Amino acid sequence: MIVRILSEGQYELDDEAVAELNTLDDELTRSIDAGDDGAFRAALSSLLAKVREAGKPLPVDSLQPSDFVLPDPDAHVDDVREMLGDEGLVPG
Amino acid sequence: MSLMKRMALIFRSKANKAIDRMEDPRETLDYSYQRQLELLQNVRRGVADVATSRKRIELQITQLTQQGDKLEGQGRQALAAGREDLAREALTRRSGLQQQISDLQTQHANLQAEEERLTLASQRLQAKVDAFRTRKETLKATYTAAEAQTKINEAFSGVSEEMSDVGLAIQRAEDKTAQMQARAGAIDELIASGALEDPSGLGKDDITAELERMSSQSEVDLQLAKMKQELGAAEPRKELEGEGK
């Protein structure tokens, strides 16, 4: 599975690692639904740390699309809510 | 649905919409390549814009620091002349400047991080654009409608995702620079209005004026005393001429 961290790049992870990510992802989703930036920040940084630790960076010239996309490390919970609510926010 | 998946789908749907608009997949390749080159230009311009803003902040930090040093000197001068009130005023203003300077230093660090991030984004995009160009030529040369579509879609989705990512990074850098520009403009106005400093050196702030008034006052007193002395004892003191200043 390929995971992109926005503004950082793509990582390749095996299915086992992805299963672990799912638990953290649930927490992240809950914090977004609650609009709780503190919880969001904590969940996001553990999730990103896990991806960086378990994943192998894809070469920069790889053209593979990602199976999962994660917000950038500085993202605020409101930015992500906006991105999810309004697809127009993503340019291109 | 999971957040990671939802976000991936948002990015994917962008790519799919673009692909659907094209009748011949080979057109998609050329069109996309053009867009990639434009985006590369944009991200490079973004890096340059952020660098310009960063330099402007550096200049302001220097100006404000100089102004702070000047106020400190004036405070010392005022205190030496026995004007504690004036010294206090100078130091109060100086501490106001310190606050501005430390805010600017924070912004400077933010912009520097943004600049590095954009530089990396531009390098990543460059690598993908180069890879895409090679892939596109191969695909066009061996094109058969039946099998090409999926390969084209894959290459296109990969690069399109990168483009969306870089596009977001540019947007964010633009937002940050715009906020910063507004503040920097306000500080420039403050500097220009003489509230902080008059860079022309022609107009004078009130502390400088007061110190100069005091110093010219004591100059006048000194001159007066000297004249009185000369008038009162012109004859016997003649041998001392040249010693006084």
Q: What percent of chain B has pLDDT over 90?
A: 31
Contact between chains at B3 and A7 (C-beta distance less than 8 A): no
Tokens for B168, please give them: 């977001």
- What ipTM describes this predicted complex? 0.85
Tokens for B91, please give them: 């130091």
Please give the mean pLDDT across all residues of chain B. Answer: 82
- Tell me which residue has tokens 């500080």: B187
Helix and strand counts by DSSP (H, E) for chain A = 3, 4
Cα–Cα distance for residue pair A51/A40, rounded to 1 Å: 16
Contact between chains at A61 and B127 (C-beta distance less than 8 A): yes
Handedness of CA B66, B113, B14, B141 (dihedral sign): positive
Tell me: pLDDT of B189 over 60. Answer: yes
Element (H, E) at A30: helix A15-34
pLDDT score at B156: 82
pLDDT score at A88: 46
Cα–Cα distance for residue pair B226/B218, rounded to 1 Å: 12
Contact between chains at B4 and A92 (C-beta distance less than 8 A): no
Contact between chains at A65 and B167 (C-beta distance less than 8 A): no
pLDDT score at B199: 42
Tell me: pLDDT of A57 over 90. Answer: yes
Nearest CA in chain B to A82: B7
Tell me: pLDDT of B172 over 80. Answer: yes
Read off the pLDDT of each residue in A37-61 and give the average, rounded to a whole number: 93
Which of A23, A61, A83 to mutate to test binding with chain B, by most B CBs within 10 Å of its CB? Answer: A61
What residues in A contact B13, CB-CB < 8 Å?
Answer: 87
pLDDT score at B194: 55
Residues 6+ apart with CB under 8 A from A45: A73
pLDDT score at B42: 93
Tell me: pLDDT of B146 over 90. Answer: no
HEC string of A30-60 equals HHHHHCCHHHHHHHHHHHHHHHHHHCEECCC
Read off the pTM.
0.73
What residues in B contact A29, CB-CB < 8 Å?
Answer: 2-3
Q: Does A48 touch chain B (CB under 8 A)?
A: no
**Edge-to-edge order in the sheet of strand A2-5:** A56-57, A9-12, A2-5, A68-70
Cα–Cα distance for residue pair B89/B159, rounded to 1 Å: 60
Work out the pLDDT band at B39, boundaries 50, 70, 90: very high
Q: What percent of chain A has pLDDT over 90?
A: 43
**Which of residues B228 and B102 earns the better pLDDT score?**
B102
Q: What is the DSSP letter of A80?
A: H
Length of chain A: 92
Q: What is the DSSP letter of B123?
A: H
Size of interface A-B (CB pairs under 8 A): 106
Alpha helix ranges (H) inside chain B: 3-21, 25-80, 84-141, 145-192, 206-232
